[in-house]
């Protein structure tokens, strides 16, 4: 694995961490279930680790950042320079850790960097929540090799 770079509160790594992953293509019913899940994790104070890159992941981050619990964002590129106000606020509050396994010169997300990012996420996490997994996709392959608790989908 590449050397990790950190920005933010590294003490967050000591928390029990729940990963959030979702295939890029997912059915529409996953959206509201993911929002409800994010709000539940926020209310429980669960430390969620994710890439927060796809639209559904960005939305989950939006709900998580409304709380006070710690969050870990793993990038599929070099460390970000431009941070949104809500991300900067969470960093200032010492409840966010941004992790990158890439040199700052890696400025674009690719399939390869996304695969590496997801491996870092699952390595950091104690358990994994997968909103939706597409058959035959990279995410299915990744979770098939894990020896950690993995939940696929949401229990109603």
**Predicted confidence (pLDDT) at residue 126 exceeds the cutoff of 60:** yes
* Residue extents of the structural domains in the chain: 5-152
Residue 70, pLDDT > 80, answer yes
Topology annotation, domain 5-152: Rossmann fold (3.40.50)
Mean pLDDT rounded to a whole number for the chain: 94
- Give the number of other CB atoms < 10 A from CB of residue 62: 14
β strands within 55-149, DSSP E? 71-74, 96-100, 127-130
Q: How many helices (H) and strands (E) does the chain have?
A: 5, 7
Residue-wise pLDDT tens digits, 1-33: 569 999 999 999 999 999 999 998 899 999 999
Indicate the pTM of the whole model. 0.94
Residues 89-117 pLDDT 10s = 999 999 999 999 999 999 999 999 999 99
How is residue 131 written in tokens? 């909103």
What is the rounded distance in angstroms from the CA atom of residue 91 to the CA atom of residue 93?
5
Contact by Cβ (8 Å): 41, 152: no
How far, in Å, CA of 101 to CA of 72, rounded? 13
């Amino acid at each position: 694995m590449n050397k990790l770079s950190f920005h933010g509160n590294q003490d967050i790594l000591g928390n029990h961490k729940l990963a959030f992953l979702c295939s890029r293509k997912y059915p529409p019913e996953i959206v509201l279930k993911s929002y409800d899940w994010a709000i539940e994790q926020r209310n429980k104070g669960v430390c969620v680790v994710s890439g927060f890159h796809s639209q559904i992941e960005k939305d989950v981050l939006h709900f998580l950042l409304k709380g006070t619990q710690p969050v870990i964002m793993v990038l599929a590129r070099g460390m970000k320079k431009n941070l949104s106000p809500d991300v900067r606020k969470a960093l200032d509050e010492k409840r966010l850790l941004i992790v990158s396994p890439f040199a700052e010169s890696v400025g674009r997300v690719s399939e390869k960097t996304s695969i590496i990012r997801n491996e870092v996420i699952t390595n950091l996490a104690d358990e994994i929540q997968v909103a939706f997994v597409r058959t035959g996709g990279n995410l299915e392959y990744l979770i098939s090799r894990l020896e950690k608790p993995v939940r696929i989908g949401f229990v109603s």
